[in-house]
């Protein structure tokens, strides 16, 4: 079959799996039969990337040429040149809507150029007329105006720039004592675009890109919006949020073929592992331990919004975990169980056992996480899942050995044992038919 026909088949498979016509297992078998998707879709994405890169290089060259004689230009000339990038971007956007609406390369490159031109025009006009303002207002104005490029061109790159922009604004608002909680409303403005992508085909690459950027920005912005005066709030909020990201990825994107699986499950899973590893140390629990049962209840009683977050996120994560169990995906529940483990750790940290019991709970949780993942990978002969499980155990062992007083000989032998286990498992599985996935 020609590359053109295989590319068409791969694009149709995503739609067929989304509509339930073809199962994910059948799509994966077709994928393995015809080879890697990248060799057929690489040219298309190369056109998009080189189009964006070319536009950025041309814009940068023009800016450098103008900046050389910028001081010698009159204010009217500067004003015209300041608006020129924005006007050119809008003219190109009109051309795309009329003549190239079916071209991904045109829509994405022009959309990205339009979003960047908005910020450049605002900055140049402010510099020309010495308009006062702060960085926060500049970022907020820039990102809100950039939404036009998202919805008119239906492009994912301006949407990704928007998410990054509101995250940067949230960080500035946090340190300038503004209102970082507006992040949630700003993020909600992008929901109609995301919902349209989801309804059209939730397995398409653009959905994966937006989901990935959103997941990372959400992890960063959540820290900016939290009120850190409530002891232990961040532990439960982050554990519930990461478990929720993982469970959402399993619930709505878990049936996608491997070659198109969105990154919500990946970001949530990595976050669960990293946060659990952090909570195996005593330092995160020290501030919480002294406030348990005394200042904690008082702080929550005086903060209804924090109480809603404290209670609401774990409930959502628990409901999605129950869904995984009911639909035959029970092993994913161990990732979604992080809020319950964090709650147990907080309870133990406030008792006479202190921080030791809380750290031991997360040591046990990471061991269970690694062993369960390895077992699932071995049963399904999925080498990638086996390596993830072994990687979790290796991270825990390395952390504990550098954190303990064991001799260098014991540490060395343990590292050798873990390395041999990696090699033996990979050799055995790669010799079995269909194991390398």
Q: Per mean pLDDT, which range of 81-90, 182-191, 329-338 is the poorest? A: 329-338
CA distance 326 to 250: 13
265: pLDDT strictly greater than 80: yes
Question: What are 373-383's pLDDT values in tens digits?
Answer: 988 888 877 77
Q: Supply 253's token pair.
A: 């994107």
pLDDT at 267: 93
376 three-state secondary structure: helix
Average pLDDT of 15-24? 72
pLDDT over 60 (residue 423): yes
The pLDDT tens digits of the residues spanning 149-165 come to 999 999 999 999 999 99
**How far apart (Å, rounded) are the C-alpha atoms in residues 249 and 265?**
4
Looking at residue 296, its pLDDT comes to 47
As given in the structure block, the two tokens for residue 52 are 């964006």
Cα(333)–Cα(247) distance, rounded to whole angstroms? 8
Pick 326 or 164 by higher pLDDT.
Answer: 164
| Mean pLDDT computed over 256-284 | 84
List pLDDT tens digits, range 67-92: 666 777 788 888 888 898 899 899 99
Delimit the domains of the chain by residue range.
72-205, 226-437
The token pair at 347 is 């309870």
User: Cα–Cα distances in Å, from 215 out to 163, 271, 318?
Assistant: 10, 10, 19
């Amino acid at each position: 079959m020609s590359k053109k026909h295989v590319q068409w088949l791969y694009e149709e498979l995503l739609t067929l799996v989304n509509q339930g016509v073809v199962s994910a297992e059948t799509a994966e078998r077709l994928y393995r039969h015809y080879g890697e998707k990248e060799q057929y879709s690489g040219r298309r994405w190369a056109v998009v990337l080189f189009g964006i890169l070319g536009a950025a290089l041309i814009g940068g060259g023009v800016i450098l040429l103008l900046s050389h004689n910028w001081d010698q230009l009159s204010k009217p000339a500067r004003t015209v040149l300041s608006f020129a990038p924005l006007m050119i971007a809008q003219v190109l956007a009109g051309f795309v809507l009329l003549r190239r609406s079916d071209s991904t390369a045109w829509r994405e490159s022009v959309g990205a150029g339009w979003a960047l031109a908005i910020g450049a025009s605002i900055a140049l006009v402010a510099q020309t007329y010495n308009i006062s303002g702060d960085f926060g207002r500049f970022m907020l104005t820039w990102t809100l105006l950039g939404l036009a490029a998202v919805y008119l061109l239906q492009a994912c790159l301006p949407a990704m720039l928007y998410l990054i922009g509101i995250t940067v604004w949230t960080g500035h608002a946090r340190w300038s004592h503004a209102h970082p909680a507006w992040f949630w409303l700003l993020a909600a403005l992008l929901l109609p675009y995301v919902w349209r992508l989801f309804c059209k085909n939730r397995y398409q690459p653009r959905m994966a890109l937006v989901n990935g950027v959103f997941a990372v920005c959400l992890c960063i912005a959540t820290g900016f919006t939290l009120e850190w005066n409530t002891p232990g709030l961040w532990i439960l909020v982050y554990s519930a949020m990461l478990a929720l990201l993982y469970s959402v990825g399993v619930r709505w994107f878990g049936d996608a073929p491997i070659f198109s699986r969105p990154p919500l499950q990946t970001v949530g899973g990595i976050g669960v592992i990293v946060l659990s590893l952090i909570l195996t140390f005593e330092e995160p629990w020290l501030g919480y331990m002294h406030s348990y049962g005394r200042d904690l209840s008082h702080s929550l009683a005086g903060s209804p919004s924090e109480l809603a977050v404290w209670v609401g996120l774990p409930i959502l994560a628990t409901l999605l975990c129950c869904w995984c169990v009911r639909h035959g995906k029970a092993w994913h529940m161990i990732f979604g169980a992080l809020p319950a483990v964090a709650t147990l750790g907080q309870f133990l940290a406030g008792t006479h056992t202190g921080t030791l019991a809380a750290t031991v709970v997360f040591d046990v949780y990471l061991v269970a996480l690694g062993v369960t993942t390895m077992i699932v990978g071995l049963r399904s002969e999925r080498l990638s899942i086996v390596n993830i499980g072994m990687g979790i155990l290796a991270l825990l062992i390395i952390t504990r050995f550098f954190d303990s007083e064991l001799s260098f000989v014991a540490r060395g032998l343990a590292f050798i044992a873990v390395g041999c286990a990696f090699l033996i498992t990979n050799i055995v599985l790669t010799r079995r038919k269909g194991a390398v996935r």
